[in-house]
A and B are shown apart, each in its own frame.
Chain A
Amino acid sequence: MPATLKNQAAIVGIGETEYSKNSGRSELALASEATAAAIKDAGLSPSDIDGMTTFTLDTTDEIELARAVGIGDLTFFSRIPHGGGAAIGVVHQAVMAVATGSAKAVVVYRALNGRSGARYSEGVSGGPTTSDLIHWSWYMPSGLMTPASWVAMYSMRYMHETGCTSEDLAEVCIAQRNHAVKNPRAFFYQKPLTLDDHQSARPIVDPLRLYDCCQETDGGAACVIVSPELAKDLPNPPALIRGVSQGAGRDQESMTSFYRPSISSLPEMDLVAKQCWQISGLTPDDIDAAVIYDAFSSIVLWQLESFGFCKHGEAKDFIKDGGLGLGGRLPCNTHGGQLSEAYVHGVNGINEGVRLIRGTSTSQPAKNDHVLVTAGVGVPTSAMILGKA
Chain B
Amino acid sequence: MSLSGKEREEFEKQLEAYVGIDIGIEDASRDAVNQAMIRQWCEAMGDACGAYTAPEAAAKSVHGEVVAPPAMLQAWILGGVAMATGEDDPRDKQRELHRLFDARGYTGVVATNTEQEYLRYLKLGDRIRARTQIESISEQKATGLGIGYFINTRTRFVDQNDKEVGWMTFRVLKFEAGDQPAAAAESNSAVPAKPQRLRPALGHDNRWWWDCVEKDELAIQRCSACAVLRHPPRPMCGECQSTEWDYVFSSGEGTIHSYVVIRHPEVPGYTYPLVVAVVDLAEGTRFVGNVVDIEPEEVEIGMAVQASIERVDDEMKLPVFRRAS
Is A121's CB within 8 Å of the partner chain B? Answer: yes
The residue that A123 contacts in the complex, of B203, B259, B265, B288, with Cβ under 8 A, is B265
Which of B197, B201, B288, B290 gathers most chain A CB within 10 Å?
Answer: B201
Q: Is the interface of B mostly helix, strand, loop or mixed?
A: loop
Asked if A145 contacts B267 (CB within 8 A), the reply is yes
Is A2's CB within 8 Å of the partner chain B? Answer: no
Interchain CA distance A126-B200 in the complex, whole Å: 9
Is B55's CB within 8 Å of the partner chain A? Answer: no
Is A156's CB within 8 Å of the partner chain B? Answer: yes
Is B231's CB within 8 Å of the partner chain A? Answer: yes
Asked if B263 contacts A156 (CB within 8 A), the reply is no
Is A327's CB within 8 Å of the partner chain B? Answer: no
Q: Say which size band chain B's interface belongs to.
A: 35 or more
Residues of B near A203 (CB, < 8 A) are 261, 263-264
The 0/1 profile, CB within 8 Å of B marked 1, for residues 194-207 of chain A is 00000000111111
Asked if A134 contacts B262 (CB within 8 A), the reply is no
**A140: shortest Cβ distance to chain B, in Å?**
4
Is B78's CB within 8 Å of the partner chain A? Answer: no
The residue that A141 contacts in the complex, of B205, B278, B318, with Cβ under 8 A, is B318
**A344: shortest Cβ distance to chain B, in Å?**
22
**A80: shortest Cβ distance to chain B, in Å?**
23
Residues of A near B285 (CB, < 8 A) are 259
Asked if B301 contacts A205 (CB within 8 A), the reply is no
Residues of A near B270 (CB, < 8 A) are 143
Given A141-B316, A258-B286, A121 contacting B265 (CB threshold 8 A): yes
Residues of A near B273 (CB, < 8 A) are 206
Interchain CA distance A335-B267 in the complex, whole Å: 33
Asked if A258 contacts B288 (CB within 8 A), the reply is yes
Asked if B264 contacts A205 (CB within 8 A), the reply is yes
Asked if A259 contacts B286 (CB within 8 A), the reply is yes
Asked if A144 contacts B288 (CB within 8 A), the reply is yes
The residue that B203 contacts in the complex, of A122, A125, A134, A202, with Cβ under 8 A, is A134
Residues of B near A157 (CB, < 8 A) are 257-258, 278, 301
Given A156-B301, A157-B301, A259-B231, A137 contacting B206 (CB threshold 8 A): yes
Residues of B near A123 (CB, < 8 A) are 265, 267
Residues of B near A77 (CB, < 8 A) are none
Asked if A143 contacts B257 (CB within 8 A), the reply is no
A-B contact pairs, 29 of them (CB 8 A): A129-B202, A133-B201, A134-B200, A139-B276, A139-B288, A141-B197, A141-B198, A141-B200, A141-B316, A143-B197, A143-B270, A144-B262, A146-B262, A146-B265, A152-B260, A153-B278, A157-B257, A157-B258, A157-B301, A160-B301, A202-B264, A203-B261, A203-B264, A204-B264, A205-B260, A205-B263, A258-B257, A258-B258, A258-B278
The 8 closest A-B CB pairs, nearest first, are A137-B200, A157-B258, A206-B261, A140-B198, A152-B260, A133-B201, A129-B201, A143-B270
- Give the interface of B toward A (CB within 8 A): 197-203, 205-206, 231-232, 257-265, 267, 270, 273-274, 276, 278, 285-286, 288-290, 296, 301, 312, 316, 318
- Give the interface of A toward B (CB within 8 A): 121-123, 125-126, 129, 131, 133-146, 148-149, 152-154, 156-157, 160, 202-207, 256, 258-259, 263
